[in-house]
Structure 1
């Protein structure tokens, strides 16, 4: 057992609280990581709000980065001393995983939202609140990295060269790869095409930077926050519109030769925004939903409309990425100046988590990163 600290949710709706916990030794498929930093994501908050079920007390956080301290007996991907980024978990055994598309893993929900550590122990707790026998549940997206130390399953671990700025790169583990993957792995737009991105959080900016990297002719962004629209324009977006504008659809059509955009990335998870994304694309166009409104939501368009317009709508999780392959690609894009992560990140020490959360909710900060 290792005594450490984590940002714990004691119960549904409770605030994140920095608590002393006792962490178990790694399972055969797990890695003990000394966490340097963890990006804060809206997905962490939907667990707090009960959008997805979770046991409590629990630790969230799924954009971790740090140094390997020890490994379980079956781990081969990393060894003690390696520096790593943490991403989502997969079973490594199903047909999707073995074909190199682990985002399609048949056990995705269990391994990520369900906190399954491995088939032998299932979603067993990773430790206890210090000095008590109250269990603490981890393994959120295979990691639960809002902590000074975490147990990460091997499939969520991506080894990176030593000496990099891990706090800067931590958000690659989820949000940024989700947005970039929507463009690079799914849509694959031609240079002559048009892409509109709804929502300029980390997911949205990942999509924008990917489209600009591919030299897409028309890159349109839609967001409510003027500073975010201005930032996207400064990076190379060709048009930026306020999502509240009554002329939004007309403006997008005007920017795309009257036909509408060929591709849309919906990164807000808001149903009415998805409807707008659907309406703004041209016939034969394609919308991909990366934002997740949670269980029970319905697509806000009609099947007959979809058939008669030959439009395509797709959902997408984690950018259809294979993290050990895709994250290094994004790191290379950053090194070449095509993926300016530093423009959206602000670091906060763990003791200032409440300030980080407030800054994210207010829109002041796009991607808070918590330092441990």
Structure 2
């Protein structure tokens, strides 16, 4: 029997998210019904809402959810009714990457997270209907669509956590923060003698900063346009902080890195000109990792001749190459140790203040709004 609940529904591209009554479908065999406690607000939600990445509408977004399991489908094994969960991205569970415990490389990643694919029997069938009009409403965004009081969630998106976990403050671990931290902890795995530059101090950038500080890297450089974020980063482990608007940015970076540039750079803005700065800021044999995503159609600003002659590497990385049931508990442990201070970049808003939270994020005033239900 469908469950009546409420969700932030976006009717069409660039429409506002409006709290509306919906009838939520019963979970499929591979799905879980979760009562949502909180959900982090991410720039990707805003990007898709405004057409930066194609999406089905009317739609429910939200992909950093946390809550309590109320029911499970017949094939679900990860969790049971009553479990506390954090939510992350969805995967197919069947491709060579998933079966090799590298789910971030899932061959159906776009289909499962942006294309709303649920299972083979129903494909991208909407998970809900609007009570007022009976119109279908799409969920399954990143397997969850957690801007709702309840969500039908893919089992692959669910991470069981201990009872008593702070589901509000730790809700954002499921996407941006793990994406930034995973670049260093899962992919690059630098030595203490290495240097890293982090371009963009949003949630991804701070996740990377905290990972770099945890690894005790010798040189940790951060670049952003907001002075308060630079100051906070210096207080939390950065060794150097520079304004992205500075005309001497590249010279300052080289001065901080023995005159040759950094070994690694993490680009967390998705802005083409910032990616060019990251490229210019690394040394020969350096490695730039793009985590920020501008959406389809943007080309990398590199000359192939320079790419070859400088022996540099550029790569993309989604979700920090994480395996969420393993990696999210590791981040939780860092949080408990004070090494992953999510609460220093977040602020909590009830769902009725969603627009206020969104405005604070868009203005740069706040890094990570958390919506509670």
SS in 2 for 1:339: coil
1:311-350 counterparts in 2 under 5 A? 311-350=312-351
Separation in 2 of the partners of 1:166 and 1:218? 33
1:177-256 counterparts in 2 under 5 A? 177-256=178-257
Q: What residue is the counterpart of 1:21 in the other structure?
A: 22
Matched residue pairs, number? Answer: 372
TM-score, normalised by the number of residues in structure 2 = 0.99
Separation in 1 of the partners of 2:297 and 2:364? 27
CA offsets 1:91-116 (integer angstroms, 9 cap, x no match): 11110001000010000000000011
Q: What residue is the counterpart of 1:91 in the other structure?
A: 92
Q: What residue is the counterpart of 2:69 in the other structure?
A: 68
Q: What residue is the counterpart of 2:309 in the other structure?
A: 308
Separation in 2 of the partners of 1:55 and 1:108? 16
- Cα distance, 1:131 vs structure 2: 3.6
1:1-372 counterparts in 2 under 5 A? 1-372=2-373
- Cα distance, 1:133 vs structure 2: 2.1
Separation in 1 of the partners of 2:367 and 2:54? 26
Task: List runs of 5+ in structure 1 lacking aligned partners.
Answer: none
SS in 2 for 1:167: coil
Task: List runs of 5+ in structure 2 lacking aligned partners.
Answer: none
- Cα distance, 1:252 vs structure 2: 0.3
Moved over 2 A (4+): none
- Cα distance, 1:132 vs structure 2: 2.7
SS in 2 for 1:168: coil
Separation in 1 of the partners of 2:132 and 2:179? 39
CA offsets 1:294-339 (integer angstroms, 9 cap, x no match): 1001010111111100000000000000000000011111111111
- Cα distance, 1:164 vs structure 2: 1.4
CA offsets 1:3-33 (integer angstroms, 9 cap, x no match): 1100110111101111111101101000000
- Cα distance, 1:77 vs structure 2: 0.4
Separation in 2 of the partners of 1:181 and 1:224? 24
SS in 2 for 1:54: coil
Separation in 1 of the partners of 2:311 and 2:6? 53
- Cα distance, 1:189 vs structure 2: 1.1
SS in 2 for 1:172: helix
- Cα distance, 1:287 vs structure 2: 0.2
- Cα distance, 1:135 vs structure 2: 0.1
- RMSD of equivalent CA atoms: 0.6
CA offsets 1:206-262 (integer angstroms, 9 cap, x no match): 000001110000000000000000000001100000000000000000000101010
CA offsets 1:64-89 (integer angstroms, 9 cap, x no match): 00000000000010000000000000
Separation in 2 of the partners of 1:220 and 1:131? 52
SS in 2 for 1:88: coil
SS in 2 for 1:34: strand
Separation in 2 of the partners of 1:260 and 1:247? 14
TM-score, normalised by the number of residues in structure 1 = 0.99
Separation in 1 of the partners of 2:13 and 2:362? 19
